[in-house]
Amino acid sequence: MKIDFISDINKGYEPALNYSATDRFMTQILWWHLGVFALFVFLNAGLKLAAYYPSPWAWRVITIPEAIITLCIAALITVAPVLLVGTMRNHYMWRIFVTCALTVYSYLFVFISGGSIEMHFHFFIVAAVLVMYLDWRLGWILLVLTALHHGILNYIEPGWVYFYGRNDFSVIAHALPVLVAVICTSMLCGIGRQSVVDLIEKQKALQKRVDELEASKGAANIAPASA
């Protein structure tokens, strides 16, 4: 894999990678996220689930202002990609945009649960979903955003990340599995992308050979007539 985080390494291969269908599916995923997140807002801020007992989905009661702000953020990162789908000339920018939107949803799910460890699994879900674009760089963008989220909030607002509060070792303990996941998804993206590229190149070579045979056949048919 060529280390290039700037250019669109898949430019020209969009039809073969079926990006149009993948983009539509990503917008559907974002809508599903918004619906599920709204449900968690209702449970943790409306019904105050954590006031009765702590659970993997509610370690603390979410205040109404927190619920409104996070729900607005969720709506923004859902509606914006939906409005922009198919409008960006550089598809790589779109892929980065979707990666950031899904990662922010990871932030929001962790927050709305009061730092539930189980909600941290969402980062791994995002890593798996992004494989559909066969762009290995997206996983590393996810890794950086995850590290910033855990590393910064662990000191500023640890309750937004871990239900048990600040824990410096947890940042490392969480980063390592995400790193392993990103390495694996990067390899998977590289293998899948190369398979598509090889197939397209073979099709081009085959088409070129067919065109040459047809051209030579046409020339052979013209020669006797000229004689």
pLDDT digits (tens, 9 = 90+) for 69-93: 999 999 999 999 999 988 888 999 9
State the Cα–Cα distance between residues 56 and 166, nearest whole angstrom.
Answer: 18
**Single pTM value for the model:** 0.87
Over the stretch 2-45, which tens digit does the pLDDT of each residue have? 777 888 889 888 888 999 999 999 999 999 999 999 999 999 99
pLDDT for res 211 = 73
- In which band, very low, low, confident or very high, does the pLDDT at 226 lie, cut at 50, 70 and 90? low
State the Cα–Cα distance between residues 146 and 121, nearest whole angstrom.
Answer: 12
Contact 161, 154 (CB under 8 A): yes
Contact 81, 26 (CB under 8 A): yes
Over the stretch 141-175, which tens digit does the pLDDT of each residue have? 999 999 999 999 999 999 999 998 888 888 898 88
Report residue 29 CA to chain centroid gap. Answer: 10
Contact 134, 185 (CB under 8 A): no
